[in-house]
Amino acid sequence: MRAASFIARQVLLLAIGAACVGACTFVVEGDEPREGEGEGEGEGEGEGEGEGEGEGEGEGEGEGEGEGGGEGEGEGEPQLTPPVGGSSGGSGGPVQGGAVSTASGVDYLVVMPASPRSPTPLLIVFSGVEGGQQMASNLSQAGPAFGLDDVLFAVIDGADYYGDGAAGAAVLDDVRARYDVDNDRTMLLSESAGTSAGLELGLALRQSFFAAFWANDVNAAANPTSTAAQLGFAPWGNAGPGGDFADADAIVGGMRAAGYRVEDPAPYDGPGAGTHGDTNQFLAALEWLAAGRSRQ
């Protein structure tokens, strides 16, 4: 680890720890050839009669059948949603950070980038039991120090919206409408109580939207609905056990089987891996997310 990163980690560990005293536990939780076949059958029948006077009469009938088949190969490319290389073109006007609600009534918090740019990379976060407000505070302190200074954070309270991946989908749509979000640098982080909602959002409901997904301090497991080949790109994936190694192994195993880009160590096995709510594991997740994760 670089010296600056090490110093930043130590300072943040102290700052976040102080902020959480008495308030929280900091439970931060291709292109594949497509084959096409075509077959056709046709039948035809015809009758004809003719009569004539004179030396003789004649009558005749005829019947014919024909069959034909053909095979062809063509190359097709999955239609990626949202399109690669583009952005959401959000037109809701300038929106300051703070408390926001979707049209359907889902509440979330926006933490503006320290170094904003357009299009804007986005990190959707399902908090743990520490709550959305504390998670937003943690991210505003730690995010810029660990390379996420250009990223907009949209934080959903994982306890309030426990198991509700659809709430995350509503927030994703709302943020994309308000800001010009980078289609290829949209990421997901789930934490502890937000695990099941994050898994539903990132591995099923909106799988193609996320370049990367880290499930932290896990307490549940799920497999991706679609493979990388079906999606048209290979997402990045990892999990921080926080003591629950069985679920972390299951999540990472499912990602590997689906063709995700999974870098070792996976699951994460560094400082804090064996303890639920350890800040070191949370900071490791931020470092991992900051490492140029893109759908391309």
Report all structural domains of the chain as residue ranges with CATH numbers, in order of start.
99-289 (3.40.50.1820)
Residue 243 predicted with pLDDT over 80: yes
CA 238 – CA 240 distance, rounded (Å): 7
Closest CA to 260 of 281, 229, 290: 229
Residue 59 predicted with pLDDT over 70: no
Residue 64 predicted with pLDDT over 90: no
Bond prior to 267 in cis (omega within 30° of 0): yes
CA 19 – CA 123 distance, rounded (Å): 22
CA torsion 143→146→148→149, rounded to 10°?
80
pTM: 0.79
| Per-residue confidence (pLDDT) for residue 94, from 0 to 100 | 62
**Backbone angle region of 253, left / alpha / beta, with phi > 0 → left and psi within -120 to 50 → alpha:** alpha
User: Could you read off the pLDDT of 138-182 as tens digits, one per residue?
Assistant: 999 999 999 999 999 999 999 999 999 999 999 999 999 999 999
Residue 232 predicted with pLDDT over 70: yes
CA 36 – CA 75 distance, rounded (Å): 9
Burial of 70 (0-12, 13-18, 19+ CB in 10 A): exposed
Q: Give the list of residues 6+ apart from residue 2 with CB closer than 8 angstroms, or none.
A: none
